[in-house]
Structure 1
Amino acid sequence: MRSSSSKASTTASPPPPHRLLLEMRMHKAHLLLESGCQVAQAAWQVGYRHPNNFSAAFTAFFGKSPKTVFGKRRRD
């Protein structure tokens, strides 16, 4: 007897569009910050009007504040 779950339920479904957009924005922001872009500039370039909202989203996504990433690539 087969279980009621189908093969489709065992494969991972793609993330929803809003999650993909968030991932793209956060990874671009991370690169901008590493290359020396200031937090407010990075926030604006990835579509945030308010740097505080960006900082909160960045911290929730990466588990560290944007200030800790700022200029890392430049110093290395």
Structure 2
Amino acid sequence: QGEGRRYAMLVDELIGQQQVVVKNLEDNYRKVPGVSAATILGDGSVALILDITGLHRLSRAKKEAGKAANQPYLSYYKEAEPS
């Protein structure tokens, strides 16, 4: 939920749930659109914390840019079934 709106994200699979310490990316890196932070998991891998509101804003801006350029905009895709 953000900007007074509710959002949903479709994922293929939830792998698990963990309590993590969130690190702000802007301390060491520049702002990354759609990413709000990161964390280091127990196995040493890095997991990004997504900014769902930011992703929606980015998607909306690309959609508007596509309309202005008279180009089609895909808001979703579906994998083709194997034949």
* Structure in which a larger fraction of residues adopt strand: 2
- RCO higher in structure (CA 8 A, sep ≥6): 1
Settle same-fold status: TM greater than 0.5.
no
Please tell me whether Structure 1 or Structure 2 has the larger radius of gyration of its CA atoms: 1
Q: Normalised by the size of structure 2, how large is the TM-score?
A: 0.29
Q: Normalised by the size of structure 1, how large is the TM-score?
A: 0.31
* Structure in which a larger fraction of residues adopt helix: 1
